[in-house]
Amino acid sequence: MASIRDLKGVGSAACNLLEKLHLFSTDDLLFHLPRDYEDRSTIVAMNQLSVGRSYLLEGEVQSIDFPSGKRKSMAILLQDDFGKVTLRFYHIYKALIDQFNLGQRIRLFGEVRIGARGLEVYHPEILPLHVLNKHSRLTAIYPSTEGLTQKKLRDYIQQAFDQHSDDLTELLPKEFSTTYSLKNALSYIHHPPLDANMQQLMQGQHPAQQRLILEELISHQLSLLTRRAYLQHTASACCKPSTHFSHALLSTLPFSLTRAQQRVSEEILHDLQQNKPMLRLVQGDVGAGKTLVAAIAACHALESGWQVALMAPTEILAEQHYLNFKRWLEPLDIQVSWLSGKQKGKARHLAETAIQHGIANMVIGTHALFQNSVIFKQLGLVIIDEQHRFGVDQRLALRDKGANSTTPHQLIMTATPIPRTLAMSAYGDLDTSIIDELPPGRTPIQTVTVPLDRREDVLQRIAKNCAEGKQAYWVCTLVEQSESLDAQAAEATYLDIQTRFPQLHVGLVHGKMKATEKQAVMQAFKRNELQLLIATTVIEVGVDVPNASLMIIENAERLGLSQLHQLRGRVGRGAQASFCVLMYKSPLSQHGQERLSILKQSNDGFIIAEKDLQIRGPGELLGTKQTGDLGFKVANLERDQYLLHQAQHIAQQLIQQNPQTVDALLQRWLPHAPRYAYV
Ligand code: ADP
Ligand code: MG
């Protein structure tokens, strides 16, 4: 496999850009597939356009004007025999204006969108009339990044193809490469003929694409199968059932375990006693009491003399676990320690030393836990909270921290139900337990939807409720999904509310604040010193303040249903009636109304996830991060689920009948994943 640097025109600047797209080798380029195609060979009639696609258009200029609006622009109405389109220019200069005259014929290429005047093309490429078209194939449009033009990217991919496509060996059994060899499949996808079935291509269902997708899915299954087989043969941190710690812990609680908590605890204990490492996913709706189940699991490992690590995705959540576990375990003489990325210098050194010498028994922290400098003396159990925030690689990194060639047991807790087909591919190596019961005494949350133009009413009502002693969350999200902009919005809301309701105690948390500041605010809210907490979605996971009973979410229509359900789950934890107000920007589309009404109708995370899956597809459930971390080059789990079973079947066959190709397939499709010998 050759380096990208050997291609003509690729210097270090281009390399950096390509790296952003995870393109490192010429093979990576070959498998970097188009996200769309342009047809520059045919002029399309203006009544045949679909929004979001690019076309070659030709028509006569009907009008030229400069509408007044927020942004200055030039609008040119163009008409052909079938319809009209407006060309819109925001960047206006004399030479551009001079190009257009009333009644003149114009040919252009550009993407059609919905604008203020209906179908519009922003800043089209103006092309000469009467020039014969040289394009005999469709032109590929690739996923790219700022600073890397389609033209350059296309050129690099072409070079990679010309120089290296002959080196590609067929790795699948013959019956899969009869219609398309690997090289022909790639050639077809990068340069489809003009008469190609576009619908098939755009849906990833052309046989040339299926040929590649199947090969990739097979390779992923091979990776999971070999990893699982390998792990089943490593020694684990075998535990005895805890007789002392767990009973002592349970006896201090003011409540007893739910039946579901008991059942799942037993399933975990069964695994911990085995001489092969546990890999168990615990799913349970928000508020189901997963933390306690984790603590009981920790008791078994701790009493057997092992260290336990608990990792949470955010500082706030890790801190909350730290305080809980300290309260529960320190009376039992178990040292509970804290490790976070923000810890520097001496404090960090002390924490790491205690972990290395086994003085710290129970270690709680964030991503910092799996850095190389953190060495455990005898790590026996790894607990990961809210798994969907972590990638598979990070999960593996902690698993490799076991001592003396033992592999720690792993317990993963998530509130996001994962559909079976997805679980099979993303977590093919996990067993699953479900906590399907909430602790008694919860009153269901009432959810209402309110248009944003009634924001002021809502604000007045909330202020009044807070003044009467209730506690509320106010979550700010913006149209653009950016923590930095959300933080600004939250800050503005915070300042506004503070000035207008000076008698209220208001707090603010967002992702741009220092961890210590965030924690201080959260703790003050928990102690009921603040009645109203303005926040961004950083509070989404896990934070537990039982007295809070009001949740207001701005721009709710922008968030995924599962995410909204998680946010809403911050209230309804105490005995008092709780409310959730979803504010949306009107008008709300049919689709948007349907989505929000699901939340009004159901408080059950599993039902919500299922509906969400029907409406939006699985990407959202797993979180883009996670699906990204699965590292697919051509396959797309949402789109290609229907091929999973076949892929799994072929993978098993290959391991048995053709083990020599397994490594080559893994090298081609998962070059950076850890490799395990099949035993
Ligand atoms: P999650 O599953 O969302 O992580 P938590 O573990 O944070 O839920 O638990 C939510 C709340 O329920 C906590 O305040 C916890 O103390 C309480 N809780 C847990 N188990 C029980 C139980 N069996 N009975 C009553 N309350 C419980
Ligand atoms: Mg939790």
For 234-262, the pLDDT digits (tens) are: 888 899 999 999 999 999 999 999 999 99
Residue ranges, CATH 3.40.50.300, the chain? 235-435, 445-602
The superfamily CATH assigns to domain 42-133 is Nucleic acid-binding proteins (2.40.50.140)
Name 347's bridge partners. none
Residue 679 to residue 670: CA distance in whole angstroms: 20
Ligand 1 probe mutation, 249, 252, 283, 291, most atoms within 8 A of CB: 291
Averaged over 486-511, what is the pLDDT? 88
Find, among 280, 380, 364, the residue nearest to 314 by Cα.
364
Q: Is the dihedral of CA 323, 325, 327, 332 positive or negative?
A: negative
Q: Is 631 left (phi over 0), alpha (psi -120 to 50) or beta?
A: left
Which residues have any ligand 1 atom within 6 Å of their CB?
Answer: 255, 257-258, 261, 284, 286-292, 415, 439, 542, 544, 546, 573
Please give the number of the atom of ligand 1 that sits closest to the Cα of 544: 7
Residue 459 to residue 365: CA distance in whole angstroms: 36
The bound ligand whose nearest atom lies closest to the alpha carbon of 386 is 2
Asked whether 250 and 256 are in contact (CB, 8 A), the reply is yes
Query: What does the block give as tokens for 489?
Result: 């919005």
Name 472's bridge partners. 532, 550
State the angle between helix axes of 605-616 and 561-568 in degrees (0 to 180), rounded to the nearest 10. Answer: 160
In this prediction, residue 622 has a pLDDT band, given cuts at 50, 70 and 90, of very low
Residue 346 to residue 340: CA distance in whole angstroms: 13
CATH topology of domain 235-435: Rossmann fold (3.40.50)
Query: What does the block give as tokens for 183?
Result: 């090289």
Residue 215 to residue 498: CA distance in whole angstroms: 58
Please give the number of the atom of ligand 1 that sits closest to the Cα of 324: 16
Q: What is the pLDDT of residue 461?
A: 92
Name, in order, each residue with C-beta under 8 angstroms of 324's C-beta and a sequence gap of 6 or more.
291, 295
* Helix, strand counts (H, E) of the chain: 24, 23
Question: What are the φ and ψ backbone dihedral angles of 401, each rounded to 5 degrees?
Answer: -90, 10
Ligand 1 atom 18, closest CA: 289
Ligand 1 atom 12, closest CA: 289
Ligand 1 probe mutation, 544, 570, 576, most atoms within 8 A of CB: 544
Residue 262 to residue 266: CA distance in whole angstroms: 6
pLDDT at 140 over 80: yes
Averaged over 356-363, what is the pLDDT? 95
* Mean pLDDT value across the chain: 86
Residue 666 to residue 647: CA distance in whole angstroms: 14
pLDDT, one tens digit per residue, over 539-582 is 755 577 888 999 999 989 888 887 888 889 889 887 788 999 99
Q: If you measure from the C-alpha of residue 437 to the centroid of ligand 2, how many angstroms do you get, rounded to a whole number?
A: 15
Label residue 373 exposed, middle or buried (CB < 10 Å: 0-12, 13-18, 19+).
Answer: exposed
Please give the number of the atom of ligand 1 that sits closest to the Cα of 441: 25
Q: Match 């910092």 to its residue by tokens.
A: 368
Ligand 1 probe mutation, 292, 438, 543, 578, most atoms within 8 A of CB: 292
pLDDT, one tens digit per residue, over 2-33 is 788 889 999 999 999 999 888 989 988 999 99
* Structural element, H or E, at residue 661: helix 659-669
Q: If you measure from the C-alpha of residue 390 to the centroid of ligand 2, how many angstroms do you get, rounded to a whole number?
A: 15
pLDDT at 624 over 90: no
Ligand 1 atom 9, closest CA: 289
> Which one-letter DSSP state was computed for residue 586?
S
pLDDT, one tens digit per residue, over 203-220 is 889 999 999 999 999 998
The superfamily CATH assigns to domain 445-602 is P-loop containing nucleotide triphosphate hydrolases (3.40.50.300)
Of 456-465, 507-516, 617-626, 663-672, the poorest mean pLDDT is in 617-626
pLDDT, one tens digit per residue, over 287-297 is 899 999 999 99
Query: What does the block give as tokens for 628?
Result: 């990204």
pLDDT at 136 over 80: no
